[in-house]
Amino acid sequence: MEDPGRFRQPSVLGAHLGLTPRTYASGETERNGHITRCGDRMVRPLLREAGTVLPNRVRRWSRLEGWGVQVAHRRGARRAQVALARRLAVLLHGIRMDGTEFRARREGISRPAAA
């Protein structure tokens, strides 16, 4: 993303990258389908891979990982991967806009115990 300032709202970035569900609406019927797959064909798989790796391979717990695990329990692993990819894109956009550092976890908070 060469100019992050062209996105007024970070939530629009998910649609720009094709990480939002396709909507079919006709008369009384309204259904959400698979992701739209518009946008950059190289960034989307990389973000999705990061969404896959974060809850499965990263050893240090983060709030983002905890959110992804909650989504996976509610909606399933594949939807959680795409949701994490979309959230990572929004986080990276925010970091690029204001130049802050990403803090994966707050000080003094560790991984919650397994239920």
Question: What are the pLDDT digits (tens) for 50-74?
Answer: 888 888 888 877 888 888 899 999 9
- Cα 60 from chain centre: 18
Rounded CA separation 63/106 (Å) = 8
Q: pTM, whole model, 2 decimals? A: 0.72
Q: Which DSSP letter does residue 107 get?
A: T
- Whether the per-residue pLDDT at 108 is higher than 80: the answer is no
Higher pLDDT, 30 or 70: 70
Higher pLDDT, 38 or 75: 75
**pLDDT score for 105:** 64
Rounded (10°) angle between helices 43-56 and 77-98: 110
**pLDDT score for 70:** 92
